[in-house]
Amino acid sequence: MAGRAALVLRGVTLPSGRVADLSLGEGRVLHIGAGLPADESVDATGLLCLPAAVDMHTHLRGGREQSAKEDWTTGTTSALFGGVTVVVDQPNTIPPLTAPDAFKARVAEAAGQARCRFAVNAGVVPGADLPALWRAGAMAFGEVFAGPSSYGEAVPPDVLGRAFLTLRDLGALATVHAEDPLPGAPESLAEHDRLRPASAEAAAVRAVGRLVPRGGGVHFCHMSSAAAVDAADPVGTVEVTPHHLFLSREHFEADDTHARMNPPLRAEKERKALWSRWDAIDAVASDHAPHTAAEKAVPFAEAPSGVPGVETMLPLLMAEVVSGRLSLASVIEKTAVNPAGILGIAPAGFGPGERADFALYPKEPTSIDPDALHTKCTWTPFEGTDAVFPAIVVMDGACVVRDDEYFGSGSTWLPGKGYNP
């Protein structure tokens, strides 16, 4: 046991229910029990301490073209205030991350602005140099669009099949947006659901599964229906979002653009069916995809798809925990343990030497207020919903959020396993 800690969190409640002091140093857990002598001591009495989350599906925008929606500073600040210390950025940026130079520029932009740990995925399109992107540090490849979406064109099946072979040989993970939408411009949430039906989502998952070679790794993003989860479960790992778990189209006016996303919100019956697959879901990720209020204030057919969510993901789930509707163990598994395992990064945890990234939660919910969130976009589809936000967030063994203030000093890039500078 080390003799001195950098930080002691006194009186935390561990997931097991045990109350103890948590001593941290050099970004790692040193000791659980009576606190060691420390440079800093924080009273955490009554707070429930969890490993901080890994959000493996975010769109942090940024760049000259999209920084009005979000930038790395605002997006990662929002993540921290929601109990997330690792974000994975998707490659359908402007420009798309389909060549090493664009990828490296994206990493450099993030390194200068981000406030939490970050990884960046690379894109899959015809002609993309996947081995070079892997060597450049891509965490994974995708989300690969098996059907078109905002800022993403569908990848033809023959290209996708060859890419899966290449990625298998590299030892890289493919993350897939599995949809097969019908043609048309929807004028309402119900029409959006009809043009991107749950049956077509499940069929797209099965079609992708037929292309995955033996030994290939695939992760299915934002499954929105029970049928899609069932189809994906034997093929690869399964991700769902809070908006598909907590929202249905019946929660909104018929043409409310703030509820437009891909895959679309389903009917209330389908939403409840998705919850019934909770045990088959490997990861919960936000698909944080902010658009400005002005971009959403247009006719439904013209509105972009996507909603913010990185700051509200864990608080929504923690409200379910404190109400007794979800087990704490399952939330930790799907937001911290499994995402780290799927990506191949070191998990946060309570064992000696494990990464000291934690979020400490009170046990009483509040209502989500869009004005209190830290994302650059000024709205949320979850306004008024019960949530439990962390009172303290620790990253790399130091308090970065406390008393509603940010105290951090920077970020760390997490390159993928193929990184070869």
Query: Is residue 287 among the annotated active site residues?
Result: yes
Domain count within the chain: 2
> Starting from the edge strand earliest in sequence, which strands make up the sheet with 217-220, in order?
141-145, 173-177, 217-220, 237-240, 283-284
User: Which residue range(s) make up the domain with 382?
Assistant: 5-49+354-406
Residue carrying structure tokens 């494990």: 354
pLDDT of residue 151: 58
Q: Are 291 and 65 in contact (CB under 8 A)?
A: no
Does residue 411 belong to any structural domain of this protein? no
3-state secondary structure of 20: strand
Task: Cis check for the bond before 263: say yes or no (omega within 30 of 0).
Answer: yes
pLDDT of residue 409: 85
Does residue 418 belong to any structural domain of this protein? no
240 DSSP β-pair partners: 284
Judge if 15 and 145 occupy the same domain. no
Choosing from 71, 89, 180, 287, which is the catalytic residue?
A: 287
Confidence at 131, pLDDT banded by 50, 70, 90 = very high
Does residue 420 belong to any structural domain of this protein? no
pLDDT at 80 over 60: yes
Judge if 335 and 220 occupy the same domain. yes
pLDDT by residue (tens digit) across 6-22? Answer: 999 999 999 999 999 99
Does residue 413 belong to any structural domain of this protein? no
Judge if 161 and 19 occupy the same domain. no
Task: Look up the CATH number of the domain holding residue 358.
Answer: 2.30.40.10
Q: Are 85 and 115 in contact (CB under 8 A)?
A: no
Does residue 81 belong to any structural domain of this protein? yes
Q: What is the DSSP letter of 383?
A: T
C-alpha neighbours within 13 Å on the C-beta side of residue 382 = 30
pLDDT of residue 152: 61
Does residue 215 belong to any structural domain of this protein? yes
pLDDT of residue 149: 60
pLDDT at 2 over 70: no
pLDDT of residue 150: 59
Task: Look up the CATH number of the domain holding residue 241.
Answer: 3.20.20.140
The closest alpha carbon to 395, from 411, 375, 374, 413, belongs to 411
Judge if 201 and 293 occupy the same domain. yes
User: What is the arithmetic mean of pLDDT over 132-155?
Assistant: 85
Q: Model-level pTM?
A: 0.96
Does residue 414 belong to any structural domain of this protein? no
